[in-house]
Structure 1
Amino acid sequence: MNILWKYLKPHRALILFSLLLAAAAQLLNLLDPVIFGKIIDEYATNKNNLPQDELIQGVIYWLLIALGIAILSKLCKAAQEYLTRRTVAKFGMNIFNDGLKQTLRLSFQEFEESRSGTTLSVLQKVKTDAERFINSFINVVFSSLVGIGFLLWYSLNRNWLLVPVFFVGVLMLGSLTGLVSKRIKGIQRSINRETDKQAGVITESLRNIELVKSLGLTFPEIRRLNEQTLKIYDLEMLKAKKVSSLSFLQGNMLNLLKQSILFILLWLIFRRILSTGELIAMQFISTAIFTPLQELGNMIILYREADASLQTFDRLMNKPVEKRPENSVEIDSLVSLRFDQVVFRHKTAGYNSIDNISFKIERGQTIAFVGPSGSGKSTLVKLLVGLYTPVSG
């Protein structure tokens, strides 16, 4: 994920401000159950035997405070979502543009050996996957962590017995998530690899549709593409099984944690340490926190998708680019052209495409390269215009 931080670093001020707004929105949102619990304890039960006028005034006062806090929370949330979208859009634009720049700077031979559809798929996927992950991290994971911190602080102010339950529950949940996440990682890499391959195959097939149809290869080509799609489907189903297992275990773990918290809260009420209003407030707060955590399985998928896409993008960015010669010689007017024992071999070939070819032509002469298909005519022309660099000669 170093490459993710590299592209987010220029926007760290916006990200930090977005996180602060997300934390403020979550904390303000969690104050609502606390106010509700206070209304239950002091006014609904009327433990102080207040007259009706004071009860109504007190309830209206706290409801107005709750309304103001809710409006402020929504404002913080709206500002946070705008800043997050802006940051993510800038991030996506920069990473896509850098990938495009790197692709166009590759040597022609390197570019020729990779399908254009595959390259485009890599650039689009890394942009989309990273954007989805950043959005989910801020809106789901970070907000839940802030909520857990608030709940721990609220619990410590009431009774320390709730803290070990939270600690053990979060530890078990994290261990379970990490275990399944590692298994999803390898599957996601395979899915990305096959998806990029499919994009390249489809692009080449559509580009050469004239040849496919003229040779009567329409249905064989359909079968070939269907087989590729089936491979991706099988991998997606394997990932779905892992995610379903994670969601099932995670849901049960969260439910066990919630019931354990409820038991301790009731036990504290029996001991007259906690009031009914505080019990209701704690339940509302825990529900507000644990409900987003149930989406942790989907968050893990987004993380692994982004991780796999960023690694593919990193491999693209680490490919050597074509550089201009440092001591290039300027040529004014071309008078003659000579090939002297020129040898060239494609990277993936096991033999020379051009083998010790020599010729010389003067200005005004006309020459023709003649030979059967695959004899190296196109390669020779590409050597002439500088798209290929000879091995020797």
Structure 2
Amino acid sequence: MQAIKQLGQYLAPYKFLTIIAPLLMVLEVTMDLLQPTIMQHMIDTGIANEDHPYVFKMFGWMLISAVLGLVGGIGCSYYSSKAAIHFASDIRQALYEKMMSYSARERDTLTTGRLITILTSDVESIQRAFMMTLRIFVRGPLLFIGAVIIVFITARELFSILLIIVPILIIAMYFFTKYSGMLYRRVQEAIDAVNTKLQENLAGIRVVKAFRREQQQISQFSSLNHALTKRFMTAEQIVGVLVPFTMFVVNLGIVAALWLGAIKVEAGTLQVGVILAFINYLTMILNGLMSSSMVLMQIARALPSGERIVDVLHKDVVVKEAANALAEPLAGAIDFDHVSYRYYDTAEDVLKNISFSVQPGQTVGIIGKTGSGKSTLVKLLPRLFDPTGGEIRVDGKPLKSYALATLRAYIGFTPQRALLFSGTIDSNVRLGKDEASAEELQQALDAACASEFVERLEQGLAYPLAQGATNLSGGQKQRLALSRALIRKPAILVLDDTTSALDSGSERHVQQAIAANYADTTTFIVASKITSIQQADMILVLADGEIVGQGTHQELLQTNPHYQAIYASQQKAGEQA
């Protein structure tokens, strides 16, 4: 319940809607409560005495109350829907903005499948619960309380029946509401697992097909789906028992009312209209309790969703911006001072005591075996995560002292896996610089060796990309990702194995274009091939997260055994090829 209270801040802009909707529902309920009483008077006073003008008068009042109830019901539905939808929309927007602020650590902790479930299913659950609260949770208790009071005043002879039925219904409602909350929490966890598996398989469908593991993945999904189905069935079956059980109890009450009423009518102490009114009010009490129980179960179902939403919104972000962060331009001088990093507190360091300095405009090559920490090192520069030890300085100031927006605006970053978004080639390249001119766009495409294939496409820059750019080859995606980084003419350029899918001629062209057009840019090139970095001003050789060699290509060839081993193996592979 604490989570729901914390989400209440998102209702502030919609106070008027959340007040007017229940008031209109009060109008509808009041008119509904009047109907049986009017009918009672129509029967006992008008029809019994053959007073036709009185019957028509009561009929007119019934018609007026029905119309007013209709107006109240429609108005409540309109305003409650508007409030609930906007409320959920604001929460969804806040969740997305919070997720965008997450570093890699928070995303790994929460998992993509869980975040998708929270942003969709959990928000929808909260929206439905709030809408039902404004509509039904006002109607249910008012119907219940109003009907009980009227029965006590007008049909006290039958009131003892309520003293037996109502406690039974309330106890049943409490039990089912409490138990359903626990069951639906388990359902949401099962949905997380299904979404995670679905997201992984759709993203890696080519790998699955390449290794012919369709049946294995189908089997794994089937197990998760079976678990979700079982939990859903248990929850729905438990909840489903409430309606027939409640109807059974109320039907017993109707039978008792007819039996007791018949005795009293025969004795002359009760009129027929009172019995009919009592049955109507008993039905209203049933509806009030049933609708209230449905809302309570929806709220119980929404409570775990609310807790998960609040958990995301309040999740502490590891990478934080400093107070009074610097917004000054970057020149590109970089200093790593005994930098270490570990992905989790209990894990071993993947970077250990890294120290080196780079001057603006220099090119740094980084090479080493798989898992040596090359990609991790360059991801520290745009603060995708922060060092767990040591310090990084840019232009002599701590990296953490810069505003994140400023820091990242001066860095062109191409990840190891070229990621493009659905849209056009133009929109993807302009992610690097929205306001880029046509000349700047063409220069970036030329430098990345992307112009040659873009110009061959019938729609050129307007060529639409599928989700994940599956309608482009790996090399084409890498070249567009490089264009996206180059178009902003960054002070610091990070190429994380960006040219691995390019042929040697295209790679040389990219190296020459960067050297000619981006001479003032400090460039970091992560590579698996020595040919990709041998012209660098400084090469770092990594092994098990440590720098085991530092110098130019010629210096390392003469003095560093690790570099010599890499060079020899690649030379041998080239000769065999």
Q: Secondary structure at the match of 1:360?
A: strand
Select between 143-152 and 111-120 the one with higher mean Cα deviation: 111-120
CA positional deviation for 1:122: 0.3
Separation of aligned partners in 2, 1:17 and 1:134:
15
The match for 1:42 is 45
Separation of aligned partners in 2, 1:239 and 1:74:
34
The match for 1:382 is 379
Select between 67-76 and 156-165 the one with higher mean Cα deviation: 156-165
Alignment TM-score, normalising by the size of structure 2: 0.62
User: Which of the pair is proportionally richer in strand?
Assistant: 2
Q: Does 1:27 align with 2:30?
A: yes
Asked whether the 8 Å contact 1:198–1:225 carries over to 2, the reply is yes
Asked whether the 8 Å contact 1:251–1:294 carries over to 2, the reply is no
Q: Secondary structure at the match of 2:340?
A: strand
CA positional deviation for 1:162: 4.1
The match for 1:122 is 118
User: Which of the pair is proportionally richer in helix?
Assistant: 1
The match for 1:246 is 242
Asked whether the 8 Å contact 2:140–2:292 carries over to 1, the reply is no
Separation of aligned partners in 1, 2:371 and 2:253:
69
The match for 1:391 is 388
Identity percentage of aligned residues: 21
CA positional deviation for 1:352: 1.6
CA positional deviation for 1:257: 3.4
Separation of aligned partners in 1, 2:62 and 2:178:
43
The match for 1:325 is 322
Q: Does 1:178 align with 2:174?
A: yes
Q: Secondary structure at the match of 1:388?
A: coil
Structure 1 residues 278-357: aligned runs within 5 Å: 278-291=274-287, 293-294=289-290, 298-321=294-317, 322-326=319-323, 328-329=325-326, 332-347=329-344, 350-357=347-354
Distance 1:379 1:245, change over 3 A: same
Q: Secondary structure at the match of 1:375?
A: coil
Select between 108-117 and 21-30 the one with higher mean Cα deviation: 108-117
Task: Show CA shifts across 1:235-259 (max 9, x none).
Answer: 1122133223433433333333333
Alignment TM-score, normalising by the size of structure 1: 0.88
| RMSD (CA atoms) | 2.6
Separation of aligned partners in 1, 2:267 and 2:93:
63
The match for 1:257 is 253
Asked whether the 8 Å contact 1:22–1:139 carries over to 2, the reply is yes
Q: Secondary structure at the match of 1:384?
A: coil
Distance 1:180 1:340, change over 3 A: same
Distance 1:264 1:153, change over 3 A: farther
Separation of aligned partners in 2, 1:140 and 1:294:
10
The match for 2:229 is 233
Separation of aligned partners in 1, 2:381 and 2:45:
90
Separation of aligned partners in 2, 1:291 and 1:66:
20
Separation of aligned partners in 2, 1:117 and 1:72:
47
Distance 1:377 1:216, change over 3 A: farther
Asked whether the 8 Å contact 1:169–1:253 carries over to 2, the reply is yes
Q: Which runs of 5+ in 2 are unaligned?
A: 391-577
Task: Show CA shifts across 1:144-176 (max 9, x none).
Answer: 321222222222323445445434432222222
- Using CA pairs under 8 Å that are at least 6 residues apart, name the structure with larger relative contact order, 1 or 2: 1
Larger radius of gyration: 2
Separation of aligned partners in 2, 1:189 and 1:57:
59
Which of 73, 77, 81 is residue 77 of structure 2 equivalent to?
A: 81
Distance 1:368 1:259, change over 3 A: farther
Separation of aligned partners in 2, 1:167 and 1:15:
34
Q: Secondary structure at the match of 2:365?
A: coil
Separation of aligned partners in 2, 1:151 and 1:133:
25
CA positional deviation for 1:106: 2.3
CA positional deviation for 1:323: 2.6
Please tell me the residue identity of whatever aligns with 2:195.
A
Separation of aligned partners in 1, 2:153 and 2:269:
11
Please tell me the residue identity of whatever aligns with 2:186.
S
Separation of aligned partners in 1, 2:95 and 2:332:
40
Asked whether the 8 Å contact 1:109–1:387 carries over to 2, the reply is no
